[in-house]
Amino acid sequence: MNRWCVLACVLLSVGVSTPALAALNVFACVPEWASLARELGGDKVSVYQASSPLQDPHRIEARPSLVAQMRRADLVICTGAELEAGWLPLLMQAAGNRNVQPGTPGYIAAAEYVDRLEIPTRLDRAAGDIHPGGNPHVQLDPRNIAKIAVVVSDRLAKIDPPNAAFYAARGEGFQTRWQAALSRWELEAQPLKGMRVVPYHKDSVYLINWLGMVEVMDIEPMPGIPPSAGYLAELVQRIQRDGADVITRSAYTDPKQPRWLAEHTHVPLVDLPYTVGGTPGAMDLFGLFDDIIARLKQARK
């Protein structure tokens, strides 16, 4: 009799743990989409984040551990617009998961659902790391996050119909909180309008556009090409002649050249998180924009 009791307890424990095991597996290429998936999926999703906020999202190694996670994914959320072109196709091919290939309900390329900036009129690799589909760093305009959230909520419901009502409610709640935060951010960021910015890389274009700032020049001579000593010296002269209010770099980029430029021009350098987790204050999507605005306003004083 005791043996049957033990067996019944084991079966009961397995039954209780089944919902956790049945969570929808989401593979997020970059931290911002991992954070969004957790916001919208709650405890119905298990989210795997393929890269850290301190990694260049263009250059991620397609490691065996990523292949294994891609193989078991029910939904893949990436940026698209060629941001992950150097590693994602190889990863998908190695994983062989037909349910998450581009064109299937299990794959979302977030940049496809927003208006992209800097779409080139002609393609010339001599001009640096140019993306044919436009600038892919769409997450730094919170209005884009709202649009992409609608897509993710709908896709979760399509892939997991029994929990469709749950995803719809999570999505509505997120949009309410996000729109309230958006109104607050735009009010708080009013002093930043017209701020003259010198970014390291072309990864803050959407942020600059949203906040009404002005991108006067980039530290990289061409996208993805590190500046030489001679080019940095030229930038010093240009900044001294034309003026700038702030130099910025994202958490994943090399700090040496921006720091050198700030020291030689006496223009304040601001380290921006770029994505969720890039700074201690940017631990979710809401904190990402709270921290960005706070850091830029501090430099404005």
Domain 20-184 maps to which CATH number in 1.10.540.10, 3.30.420.10, 3.40.50.970, 3.40.50.1980?
3.40.50.1980
Contact 62, 114 (CB under 8 A): no
Same fold, 20-184 and 191-300: yes
Contacts of 212 (CB under 8 A, 6+ apart): 192, 193, 194
Domain 191-300 maps to which CATH number in 3.40.50.1980, 1.10.10.10, 1.10.645.10, 2.30.30.30?
3.40.50.1980
Where along the chain do its domains lie? 20-184, 191-300
CA distance to 69, 78, 138, per residue, from 116 (Å): 29, 15, 7
Tokens 């960021």 belong to 189
Q: Mind listing the pLDDT tens digit of every residue in the chain (301 residues)?
A: 444 444 444 344 433 333 444 689 999 999 999 999 999 999 999 999 999 999 999 999 999 999 999 999 999 999 999 999 999 999 999 999 999 999 999 999 999 999 999 887 766 555 556 667 789 999 999 999 999 999 999 999 999 999 999 999 999 999 999 999 999 999 999 999 999 999 999 999 999 999 999 999 999 998 888 999 999 999 999 999 999 999 999 999 999 999 999 999 999 999 999 999 999 999 999 999 999 999 999 998 7
Contacts of 219 (CB under 8 A, 6+ apart): 198, 199, 200, 201, 227, 232, 235, 247, 249, 257, 258, 261
Give the pTM: 0.89
